[in-house]
Amino acid sequence: MLNKEIPYKIYLEESEMPTAWLNLRAFMDKKPAPLLSPATLKPITHEELSKVFCAELARQELDDTTKYIEIPKEIRDFYKMYRPAPLVRAYCLEKALQTPAKIYYKFEGNNTSGSHKLNSAIAQAYYAKEQGLKGVTTETGAGQWGTALSMACSYFGLDCKVFMVKCSYEQKPFRREVMRTYGANVTPSPSMTTEVGKKINAEFPGTTGSLGCAISEAVEAATSLDGYRYVLGSVLNQVLLHQSVIGLETKTALDKYGITADIIIGCAGGGSNLGGLISPFMVEKMQGKKDYQIIAVEPASCPTLTRGVYAYDFCDTGKVCPLAKMYTLGSGYIPSSSHSGGLRYHGMTTTLSELKDQGLMEARSVEQTEVFKAATTFARVEGILPAPESAHAIKVAVDEALKCKETGEEKTIVFGLTGTGYFDMYAYQKYNDGVMSDYIPTDAEIKKSTDKLPKI
């Protein structure tokens, strides 16, 4: 297939789709530090994790030795409904930038959840069903993960209880209605259905909620209801494992046409998309086969990898979840209001944190207005209106392509386009109206938050 003309979109055949997920940690000589139990501060056990998560998912969470884990047929069948995702050659963007660089993006937005989140949601729903559970609980902010999980649960006939941050529930009714259309039970958080919700409502009457509170409610609901477990859409090792389908498909598509990437770029919030995208490339890099430049892009308002510290921290504000060693701004860090809800997490998945620490990956932070400028350019020439999160990767891909224009280098740039922005039009409106603001935290603000990290 070498030297074949590259089409605008490379679609794999069904027979070329991955049959096993890639477990990146299993390839690492120095593994990410283990998760710690919040009760004992010792490495968390399968038994402890299984109280909150499905047994098989708890197993995957702790497995850092099995290199490939077979994708069950039921999940592969579901993947066939919306995958393979196209690897797109950005001919029009290249032309608009007048760059000699060759730009490709892996587009994960061609499904109703609008993002890559579905890749893990269907896996988590499957294992819940296999375990004979009645349903799962989760939290959602803007609703992307909640939508994906609702679709997955609907497919397997599982009950799905979503605690949605109250301000989003009221102000962003569209994703709520998508979830309801898929049969999910969507509750504004804080609610009066959990003890923690009642307590918060009593303490802060009229509160519009927070993600931290919604997590606490979802965990309480999962552990107090018979036949339920809690599921989460990012940060976890299991999520990175499931998201490796993104990278595996991308690698297969590139190999099919004899293309070698020079730079691989992805946005990073909790790390689910980036960890999945880079997985097979990072393996080659660690094995010394190819020296890919790998760039994580995060918002300047929440600069976890670029300005955080690498230390053990709580994964949630309520401090009920395990502790992880990761780049963090402190679990009490409250990012300024931003339109990229998916990137407003204080920490970063342990695997990517360790890879960054080992110098195998670099990170950049970018400001919101510049991100929307890149998003608009991209939308106009490539025809896809990107999610604000995804547009962080676009911004850096454009920067790198413009560097090539200066140097004349014909680098091959691959980035992850995680999703569409159809439910983010309020943000685009602010940009269109010229009233979008940027915020960069001061060193003092970050220090104030990271000074409070647990002493471990």
Where do contacts with its own copies occur on this chain (CB under 8 A)? Answer: 7-9, 11, 13-14, 78, 80-82, 92, 110-112, 114, 151, 154-155, 173-174, 177-178, 180-183, 376, 379-385, 420, 422-423, 425-426, 428-429, 431-432
Q: Give least dist CB 406 to its own copies, A.
A: 25
Contact 393, 417 (CB under 8 A): yes
Token pair for 127: 């294992």
Report the relative pairing of strands 135-140 and 228-230 from DSSP bridges: parallel
Q: Give least dist CB 15 to its own copies, A.
A: 9
Q: Give least dist CB 180 to its own copies, A.
A: 5
Q: Is 27 or 378 the residue whose CB approaches its own copies more closely?
A: 378
Report the relative pairing of strands 323-328 and 309-314 from DSSP bridges: antiparallel
Half-sphere exposure at residue 257, Cβ-oriented, CA atoms within 13 angstroms: 22
Q: Give least dist CB 11 to its own copies, A.
A: 5
Q: How far apart are CA 222 and CA 211, in angstroms?
A: 16
Q: Is 145 or 327 the residue whose CB approaches its own copies more closely?
A: 145
Q: Give the position of tokens 């995804």.
A: 390
Half-sphere exposure at residue 418, Cβ-oriented, CA atoms within 13 angstroms: 30
Q: Is 179 or 315 the residue whose CB approaches its own copies more closely?
A: 179
- Secondary structure (3-state) at 163: strand
Residues in a beta bridge with 266: 296
Q: Give least dist CB 303 to its own copies, A.
A: 27
Q: How far apart are CA 24 and CA 68, in angstroms?
A: 9
Angle at CA of residue 394, ends 393 and 399, nearest 5°: 100
Q: Is 183 or 332 the residue whose CB approaches its own copies more closely?
A: 183
Could you give phi then psi for residue 373, rounded to 5 degrees?
-65, -45
Half-sphere exposure at residue 184, Cβ-oriented, CA atoms within 13 angstroms: 32
Q: Is 99 or 147 the residue whose CB approaches its own copies more closely?
A: 147
Q: Give least dist CB 304 to its own copies, A.
A: 29
Q: Give least dist CB 340 to its own copies, A.
A: 16
Q: Give least dist CB 121 to its own copies, A.
A: 11
Q: Is 359 or 434 the residue whose CB approaches its own copies more closely?
A: 434
Is omega for the bond preceding 303 within 30 degrees of 0, making it cis?
no
Q: How far apart are CA 20 and CA 254, in angstroms?
A: 18
Q: Give least dist CB 20 to its own copies, A.
A: 20
Q: Is 82 or 312 the residue whose CB approaches its own copies more closely?
A: 82
Give the list of residues 6+ apart from residue 149 with CB closer than 8 angstroms, or none.
117, 121, 124, 125, 136, 138, 140, 160, 162, 184, 231, 233
Q: Is 39 or 81 the residue whose CB approaches its own copies more closely?
A: 81
Sign for the pseudo-dihedral over CA of 92, 95, 101, 102: positive
Q: Smallest Cα–Cα separation from 103: which of 409, 312, 341?
A: 409
Distance between alpha carbon 185 and the CA centroid of its chain, in Å?
A: 23
Q: Is 93 or 268 the residue whose CB approaches its own copies more closely?
A: 93
